[in-house]
Amino acid sequence: MRVVVTGGAGYVGGFAAERLLELGHEVTVFDNLWRGHAAGVPKGADFIEVDLRDAEGVMRAVRKAAPEAVMHFAAATLVGESMGHPRSYFGVNVVGTHNLIFAMVEAGCSKFVFSSTAAVYGVPERIPILEDDPKKPINPYGQSKWIVEQMLPWHAEAYGLNYACMRYFNVAGGASHRGEDHDPETHLVPILLEAAAGKRDEFTIFGEDYNTFDGTNIRDYVEVHDLVEAHVLALDKLDKPLGAFNLGTKTGFSVKQVLEAARNLTDQPIPARVGPRRAGDPPVLVADSTRARTELGWNPVRSDLETMLNGAWEWLQNNPNGYRK
CA distance 17 to 113: 13
Asked if 206 is part of the footprint of ligand UFG (rule: CB under 6 A), the reply reads yes
User: Which bin fits 243, alpha (ψ -120 to 50), beta or left (φ > 0)?
Assistant: left
How many CB atoms sit inside 10 A of residue 83's CB? 15
Asked if 255 is part of the footprint of ligand UFG (rule: CB under 6 A), the reply reads yes
Asked if 287 is part of the footprint of ligand UFG (rule: CB under 6 A), the reply reads no
Asked if 50 is part of the footprint of ligand UFG (rule: CB under 6 A), the reply reads no
* Candidate ranges 13-21, 149-157, 237-245, 276-284; the one touching ligand UFG (CB under 6 A): 276-284
Strand 221-223 to 170-172 pairing: parallel
| Contact yes or no for 255/203 (Cβ under 8 A) | no
Work out which of 186, 264, 299, 317 binds ligand UFG, going by CB under 6 A: 186
Asked if 170 is part of the footprint of ligand UFG (rule: CB under 6 A), the reply reads yes
CA distance 230 to 161: 19
CA distance 26 to 30: 13
The distance of closest approach from Cβ of residue 139 to ligand UFG in the complex, given in angstroms and rounded to an integer, is 8
Query: 64 or 310: whose CB is closer to ligand UFG?
Result: 310
Is 141 considered catalytic here?
yes
Asked if 284 is part of the footprint of ligand UFG (rule: CB under 6 A), the reply reads no
The distance of closest approach from Cβ of residue 192 to ligand UFG in the complex, given in angstroms and rounded to an integer, is 8
Task: Provide CB contacts within 8 A for 245, sequence distance 6+.
Answer: 131, 164, 165, 166, 167, 230, 234, 289, 291, 292, 295, 296, 298
* Contacting positions for ligand UFG (CB under 6 A): 77, 79, 117-119, 141-142, 170, 186-188, 191, 204-206, 217, 219, 255, 278, 281-282, 285
Question: Which residues are identified as catalytic?
Answer: 141
